[in-house]
Structure 1
């Protein structure tokens, strides 16, 4: 028996109906982001391995797809670390910072970039999680103030609303809040990364799970207990305006609180229907974030559908010149099932014809119908027409034109009529 032919593990084929949905979403996202002044750029799928393993990608660096160097001799003894020199990008932010460093002389600052493309992570495949997926990013490089964060969130909220995704919630935090909290609880600076990786799991394993994992990692009990006390007190605190009332530990920088409040005040004007909430356990797994961070979710909670934050130090790592930067990424694969594709105003017509019909006449009629702006597909008639009609309706066709050969061998066409499924 022949083996089943399937895509590589963690990859998938996109069928026409889903492809149409994806292209509709991409069109709307591009249109909205361009209306906010973002310019679309493109970066290579591969980057130097040293750049992708710079320590800024958090857990994603462990899921790199590495590319072997060309010209390796089959019998040359090499360590695994010496075999690869390139890797497939795991996000669009690291390539963008290299792009800005490479092309700084040609870019007007602040630079507002839109980037859409596939990324790859060697994750364990599961429902809704693939090894290749699309990201939609907007970034503002060269703007140090909170105007960048407010515009990123407003533009993304507008795009999602245009796609019919309303009632969204924005959770915000600041890396300064997190590092100040950990410092106040007695965690050494070198341990902050490991602690935050665990805190980032709070929405999945709960506070008890976070504390148990920190103890399993061997952190001092007094620090874990202090963190438990702080998180227990701060988790109910969601009103950003209330952050300045002295409820946060003294080790948290006042500037971080001021930034969050400034962002919330501005969003109340630019996106008044967006529910903005403070979440002390929001971490964002990437190691490159330096300031405000945020995630957006749909009503009912669940996984976030967009996330981002400020990453002021990344461009300087590649260029030697520090540039402030912030970005927001839509979880494209997570929104696809939540949207619907509007019916084409001009209609989609199935021109159903018998086998052997005159090709010239069929194409003439097709062009005639296309002149009105319709999408017209030539479809060969089947022995059982209703299953064919069902399939066409599922693909978005709303009308049918029937072709038949009369007694004199002339090809005749019916008027367009509604196409209905059984």
Structure 2
């Protein structure tokens, strides 16, 4: 994190990224002294409500973070920044989004956790739009012009007031990751599955080291002391209860429970009750330390694509074991009326044998279990996510795959990603091809 003193002293000359979080109420004009080099400007965590009309003087600016401030409107001056591709104004008080505030090269827009009731038609006139994050607003509909955004791959509209998913949305040729939980349109979670989940008293749990932290909560290793049993080592996830970029953490918890039991899912042991702060939580199977994340989160540069370590390589057997496991668990979820919504390498744990577990249900949504055009389209959108993953695995196979097998798998990958959504195979067919 940089300081105002550094900025004013001129010691930051030539930097490409500036991070300032120091209670700012106004835009420091000294930032313009960095115009020849500045590409990423992070002003999140301040108390700002406006930006200067001449913001476009930052001619190299590609990324603008202004989350956790006091904006009530997306500033129109942002739209005049010719090189700007990513905008993040999460957790402000934004009610109005002027069309003029959307720059021509917009690729990634984050307006999560605001008060937006309507979006401008101009949003659909941004041909490079790839990621759109709108969870936690007051939207009742999406602008029909978004049907023209053929590059749009990820959209988060959870926790709004949308009563119907438009047909054109489900037909977008590149849509791959969709989250819509917490809207009136969503099918309810399985009440019987939720009711049948064992309750585990907080007094039986002794938290140990922190295992991980995500947008929705903290995961600790813990000892579970059950009367009449030896202590069991488990993982305890405590939910923050705040809106995330995917949606509500409590919807995530319901999806984890409703998902049920599958070899490629992390088993839920029960729900935490009697927490002193009434914090919601789940007790889950503790994963062996031999498991690790398949990939890292997308970067500012990759936008919607995971980042793999340069030395990540697989044998054909391991890669296919991962692919079969994920296809199998995705088919299982669809039978329960759940789309995962975030089927990505960074949400997959794997070991050297190719055993894998699909985690992070933060973007999961419920749909009808009946075979309707809508449920089929929702499932085929997720098939495209699997196709992206399969392509990433195929790129990293270094041995054991014949030319004929590679052609067969590349054909499957292309069919999973084809632009005609309903022409994509279902996971039953995907599994059949992978097992041939």
The interval holding the TM-score normalised by the smaller chain is under 0.3
TM-score of the two chains, using structure 2 as the length reference: 0.22
Taking CA–CA contacts closer than 8 Å with sequence separation of 6 or more, which of the two structures ends up with the larger relative contact order? 1
Larger radius of gyration: 1
